[in-house]
Chain A
Amino acid sequence: MANDTIKLELEVPGDDFTRAGEASSTVKGMLKKLGFSPNVVRKVAIAMYEGEINMVIHGGGGQITVEISPESGVSMSLVDHGPGIPNIELAMQEGWSTAPDSVRNLGFGAGMGLPNMKKYSDEMEILSEVGVGTTVNMKVHLA
């Protein structure tokens, strides 16, 4: 049934902070138009938004691949080639953050992004290597 899925490749620029959040906004709009349930739309929108913002603030930008399937739901793969996360367990803790001051004043840096991604996605894995980059895979199921 792989042929009725829609696959999207989205570029997340790392050098223009004002563009952060655009990719997830696009996907959210598409899901709404496709008629996914508000709950699924909301879960994808929040999980992907947090991941995208992290790619920009911490990871220096990268690529997001989204696969939308009418049967199995939405899978997202967020890939950056930034500094990587040295201690994933620590990063997953609520309140842990290394965000710089310039973005804290915009309301980022509460250390809630990764915990929220975990909460709103149904499956999540983080693959990260220091100096190489970070990949976050997430899935939101239909029901």
Chain B
Amino acid sequence: METKNFFHSVTLDREKCHGCINCVKRCPTEAIRVRGGKAIIITERCIDCGECIRICPHHAKQAIFDPISIMDEYEYKIALPAPSLYGQFNNLDDVDLILGALKLMGFDDVFEVAKAAELVSDATRKYMLRPDIPRPVISSACPAVLRLIRVRFPELLENVLPLHPPIEVAARLAKRKAAQKTGLPYEKIGAIFISPCPAKVTAVKMPLGTEKSWVDGVLAIRDVYPRLISLMRHVPASQELSEAGRLGVGWGGSGGEAAAVLKERYLAADGIENVIRVLEDLEDEKFYDLDFVELNACSGGCVGGVLNVENPYVARAKLERVRKYRPVSCNRLPDEDIMPYAWESPVEYEPVLELDADLKVAMEKMKQMREIEGRLYGMDCGSCGAPSCKAMAEDIVRGFSTEESCIFKLREEIQTMADGLSRISSVLPKASQENK
């Protein structure tokens, strides 16, 4: 299994890892193994969903994002707050307080991702009017889901909404606006996203659908949160900063993006296991009569991202409060043209889970895999470092493991050896046998 030099936000702190296999079992793409008592991530399989960060009892899995000091690298800095940020605060019914606090933190301007989300929703509604598109349309905003589809559900790629996610749109609009206003070149303007999850960090460093992201830095909500809390009470009253409506803010929770399409026939699933189940059913064409499918890797949607502070369900309720009495939407496209929102490069199948590119070889490997699996014990105990006996059989065929790494196999062998020994030891040499 060669490991290409991929960037991932999710990484391992070897010191803290106990090799306990909790994460190995949890990973939805079977991308983790334990070797030599430490976990390793098979990088091309990792979708940065953050499940391993959530499950690891030793906090050995972590997300990489930028330090707050990244702001200092730019002459003019713009904060791009994720809608889920709005769900982190107690008794808040005015988003302007958060936006004002971001300015006090040192940002020259704020561009709400929720505002960009309303534009993406408008573009989605326009895209859905096309008669020739495969249905249902599957959302592409959660980078972990998009990466999951890319490695596991290639047939569904044509259903995926080929539009940039709100963060990307926000960065582009914010930087263009800033360049016009200040006359500065783009390199001196920093668009800094405040993120609920590691998947979005990866989406910025290794984007899909475009060559290079316009986002210049990514901060974690949990890093920014304590600063905002202390700055909020210094925000001058009656600043009107928020430019997002109910639809845009709703994107922070599961179902928000789908509801903004304004169609009745939609489905919204959240939590990586549910997402996989829905994708499998979509692949088998078990649903009909659906226009739109929204999928979020995190339970509850982006409010459930691992870089948040508040419990997802509480955050969801707080988000509802913040968006109450907001206009339904405050942003729409200037015309019918959705091209500025469309992916510039297609997202293609990444066959990292295939046994071999050559079908014949793959068939042969599959046969071997099944033979090996038949010889294993089917306990899925994980002590070999693989998530299941099946995955172990595949690892062996790929030359990444050996049958002896199975402790039951090992015991079998010791048993055989022990039997052999006792057999040998019971055979007395001819010379010592009594003559009868």
Contacts and interface: CB of A to CB of B under 8 A. Distances in A.
A106 B329 contact: no
B250 A25 contact: no
Given A18-B247, A21-B246, A32-B238, A102 B264 contact: yes
B323 interface: yes
Contact of A106 (B122, B259, B325, B330): B259
A24 B327 CA distance: 8
Interface in A94-143: 100-102, 105-107
Interface string A62-81: 00000000000000000000
Most B C-beta atoms less than 10 A away, residue of A18, A45, A106: A18
A19 B328 contact: yes
A46 interface: yes
B329 A105 contact: no
B262 interface: yes
Given A102-B264, A106-B247, A17 B324 contact: no
A45 B324 CA distance: 11
A32 B330 CA distance: 19
B391 to A, nearest CB: 38
Nearest to B118: A18
Nearest to B332: A18
B325 A49 contact: yes
A36 B44 CA distance: 59
A24 B326 CA distance: 9
Contacts of B262: 17-18, 102
Interface of A: 17-22, 24-25, 29, 32, 45-46, 49, 53, 100-102, 105-107
11 contacts: A17-B328, A18-B262, A18-B328, A18-B329, A19-B328, A21-B327, A22-B330, A46-B325, A100-B264, A101-B264, A107-B324
Given A20-B328, A29-B240, A101-B264, 20 more contacts: A17-B328, A18-B245, A18-B247, A21-B245, A21-B246, A21-B326, A21-B327, A21-B328, A24-B327, A25-B330, A49-B325, A102-B262, A102-B263, A102-B264, A105-B258, A106-B247, A106-B259, A106-B328, A107-B323, A107-B324
Interface of B: 118, 122, 238, 240, 245-247, 250, 255, 258-260, 262-264, 320, 323-330, 332
